A and B are shown apart, each in its own frame.
With several copies, the nearest count.
Chain A
Amino acid sequence: MRYLPHTEEDIASMLQAIGEKSLEGLFATVPDSCRRERALELPEPFGEFELCERVGNLAGRMAVSPKYSVYLGAGSYEHFIPASVSYLLGRSEFSTSYTPYQPEISQGTLQAIYEYQTLVARLLGMDVANASLYDGASALAEALSMAVRVTKRDKVAVSSLIHPAYRRVVQTYFETTGHEVVQLPYLSNGRTDFSKLEEIQDLAALAVQSPNFFGCIEDIQTAAEVAHQKRALLVVTFSEPLAYGLLKSPGSQGADIACGEGQSFGVPQSFGGPALGMFATKMEYVRNLPGRLVGQTTDIDGNRGFVLTLATREQHIRREKATSNICTNNSLCAVAAAMYMASLGATGLRELAALNRDKAEYLKRRLMETGAEKPFEAPTFNEFVVKFPNSFEATYERLLNKGIVPGLRLERHYPELTGHYLLCVTEIRTKAEMDALVKEIAS
């Protein structure tokens, strides 16, 4: 077997050195009561050729561009990834190493992550960002737990326009803690309604998503005022960080924690994972931060170098008192994001964001012409909600058969929103594709 280098002689001589007669003998300490009764019932080993055929067939049964035009966003975005990023990320010095516990032999990963932390902090307008978490959903859960730790309070208010999956993960994380999660309703303009906050006491955090699940851009300024009035932390979350190529950063508007999903920056959608949990906060809270941190230092010759630092927050030192249980994070996705941000640059980021927004606005306008309605007035980025006439159900199925996925039905997540769809348009959707969609819908 090509992954197993041992020859018969190797095994024999090693067993002899150990003083065992057989490989089975090595497992003498395993009581019979623990042993398998039958051999592994697995298919015979696949050769690489047959393996590629088998897995290739599965991959072939998936609806992806260019064959399909998929207008789905809702937490996973189809952005173009340059070949340079994929190539660099595939260099095995990055992919086959592990957490840089031994800094002298891991400077590549460490500098790359230090640069990632810096670019994320700059993007979000925060002081410090960590080395990554699993995804946007667990990042929000960690943020709210952190707010509870920081404020020593146990109520959190969560906008109902935060990604439904993110809110469910928060529920799961908070289920057993006794902390209370209050949901805030939304206004008719597609933004969060903060009024309900009035009556809430001992608020640890207010969490809003911007752009929110409807694609609408929230009023973070106001959210910050409301939250800070109650001496609660403002947590701004996001599923589409590209929006901050245009928008004011969360930090510049008073966010205490900014966290969310970073997949848009060079991470393949990959059916939802691995993703990239981005997490940033103010320096004053750094010792409450979950996850790993890379810091700059010097070696004994005074040369610049990088190390994992502030480990006293972490599980391997603090055990049950750690700020989080995270160990393995999503480092390689963070490096991908750094490579992608480095390739874009400030100029490219701004233009790419504008291109997303403008293409989405184009489709929005064209859809209105077909008689669809725009239920929410608040400005949007590259996602928006549309209400189609009841006849659309049939159209939807027809479009699927034509290789078009015209957005996400919102009814499942918001029962009141029958006939409402969430559509996403990124830079890779061409005007021609959108015109074709509009034509299909109109016909």
Chain B
Amino acid sequence: MTGFPGTTGLILNEPLLWEKGKQGRSGMSLPHRDVNRAPFPEELLGTPPEFPDLSEVDVVRHYTRLSQWNFGVDTGMYPLGSCTMKYNPKVNEKLASLPGFSKAHPLLPHQLCQGALALMFELERLLAEVTGMDAVSLQPAAGAQGELTGMLIIHACHKSRKSQRSKIIVPDTAHGTNPASAAICGYRPVKVKSNEQGVLAAESIAELMDEETAGIMVTNPNTLGLFEEHISEISRIVHDKGGLVYCDGANMNALMGIVDMGKTGVDVLHLNLHKTFSGPHGGGGPGSGPVCVKKDLEPFLPVPRVMEQDGTYLLSEDFPESIGKVHAFYGSFGVSVRAYAYILSMGPELKTASQLAVLNANYIKEQLKGTLHLEYDRPCMHECVFSDKLQRAHKITTLDMVKRLMDYGFHPPTIYFPLVVEGAIMIEPTETESKENVDLFIDAMKAIAEEAAQNPELLRSAPTRCKVRRLDETSAARNPCLTG
């Protein structure tokens, strides 16, 4: 295992917050009290919650220690499939935290918040250019909410056409959020299988598409990392039956500057700014999931919308057909600032980013096939999906292999997704990993496959280098302990 980044070193234990602290300590100072105490109605007064009192150094050490138990993109390669864990530029953090943005109240009179409105307006135009769509709303707070927003737009569109539809076609490769989002607006997802190439066959859509069906949700590239080659044909079929095409654009990192989503027949698309456009993932969020639509769906976009009137920017509610609001204000503005900074930093090189993301993925695919079973042996886009088929002989599972990968100093790929591949190992390197890193990762996977054959126990007992060993998730779910 020498030559790989993983090793062990001194880290510090740290109890839970309320296992430390003493009443009367203080971790922050309050502004000076310059007014008298006002009487407060007895009957409304509660007992203070049981928060521990800590000093500032207690708090700083607590979270400094916790941070060192975490692995982030800044720590090393994080090839978590479908999540586009690319490098998050530091300057974007600096810009998002400029007081003019971070301290801005969302309800400022428009003449007092021109900077933020201009940024939102410009970002919408930039995203339209990158996707090939016509109009954009930044309001959805993450991809899943973008999907819901898109579904509601489709629903509103059908309604405006006086057409009642109850179903929506969702491929078996779709991300779980797709059917979940469709369900929220009352659509019954109809599952369609991908063909032996791992993509949707036009025929299978033709069979399912009817006047009862609102449309289809395609992810393109799909979650097998494959481009839906027949998308144009499929769109035609769906449109012919009066349906609409929704595209889950979470994987846009493969296609920037190459594919025109509009041309593929997509009517509604969502983007994940926290993936394709370098927003940091924050240990689970926040994200941002703008929806992009073709002209004829623009009236249905969420309100308010940012408008420009001879140099002045305004927020307008004046869209009677709008689906309404999905966020209290305008979505994750702070993430929009980062995406805006990222797009301006990259410019036309966004295309290069996509090309290199796809290069890295295909390179890994070629180097590891044979070592790991490759379910669909064809050119992939930004990610490639293997399985543990070859390792089952040694009673080694995908889980065992990725736990071992931690000891080698890499974050595991996405596992057991997409569901169509049994024991899936979904690897998305992204463009910000150098060839050296990618080669090290490949060598690690090969070494692990070797260990699986020679010394499988190494894998089953992995990880050994992390702060904790393998955790008991079953009993965690059986008798949940969710608060301390």
Contact = CB atoms under 8 A, between A and B. Distances in A.
Contact of A129 (B87, B91, B379, B483): B483
B337 A305 contact: no
A48 interface: yes
Contacts, number: 768
Given A26-B359, A61-B115, A345-B26, A103 B347 contact: no
Nearest to B199: A29
B69 A40 contact: no
The range of chain A's interface size is 35 or more
A29 B231 CA distance: 12
Contacts of B257: 36, 39-40
B320 interface: no
The range of chain B's interface size is 35 or more
Nearest to A280: B483
Interface string B52-71: 11111111101110111111
Interface in A232-247: 244-247
A115 B16 contact: yes
Q: Give the interface SS of chain B, mostly helix, strand, loop or mixed.
A: loop
A7 B103 contact: no
A394 interface: no
Contacts of A119: 17, 49, 51
The 9 tightest CB contacts between A and B, nearest first, are: A272-B329, A59-B100, A332-B282, A272-B106, A331-B284, A274-B286, A108-B70, A96-B72, A343-B27
A227 interface: no
B126 A42 contact: yes
Interface in B178-197: 179-186, 188-189
A214 interface: no
A169 B480 CA distance: 31
B114 interface: yes
Interface string A246-264: 1111001000000001000
Nearest to A118: B483
Interface stretch (B201-209, B237-245, B385-393, B429-437): B429-437
Contacts of A331: 282-286
A414 to B, nearest CB: 15
Given A3-B432, A343-B27, A68 B112 contact: yes
Contact of B473 (A52, A166, A307): A307
A112 B283 CA distance: 10
Given A105-B463, A327-B144, A431-B35, A40 B130 contact: yes
Nearest to B473: A307
Interface in A306-353: 306-307, 309-312, 314-322, 324-333, 335, 338-339, 341-352
A273 B343 contact: no
Given A118-B483, A330-B285, A75 B328 contact: yes
Contacts of B155: 175-176
25 contacts: A3-B57, A6-B359, A61-B115, A84-B60, A88-B59, A91-B64, A95-B280, A96-B85, A97-B281, A98-B281, A104-B466, A106-B71, A111-B16, A111-B69, A112-B283, A271-B101, A274-B288, A294-B482, A305-B468, A309-B476, A343-B27, A346-B48, A346-B49, A379-B44, A427-B31
Given A169-B327, A172-B152, A400-B112, A348 B53 contact: yes
A443 interface: no
Nearest to B70: A108
A122 B98 contact: no
A252 B47 CA distance: 10
Contact of A165 (B67, B329, B355, B417): B329
Interface string A89-103: 011111111111111
Interface stretch (A134-142, A152-160, A186-194): A134-142
Interface stretch (A197-205, A295-303, A368-376): A295-303
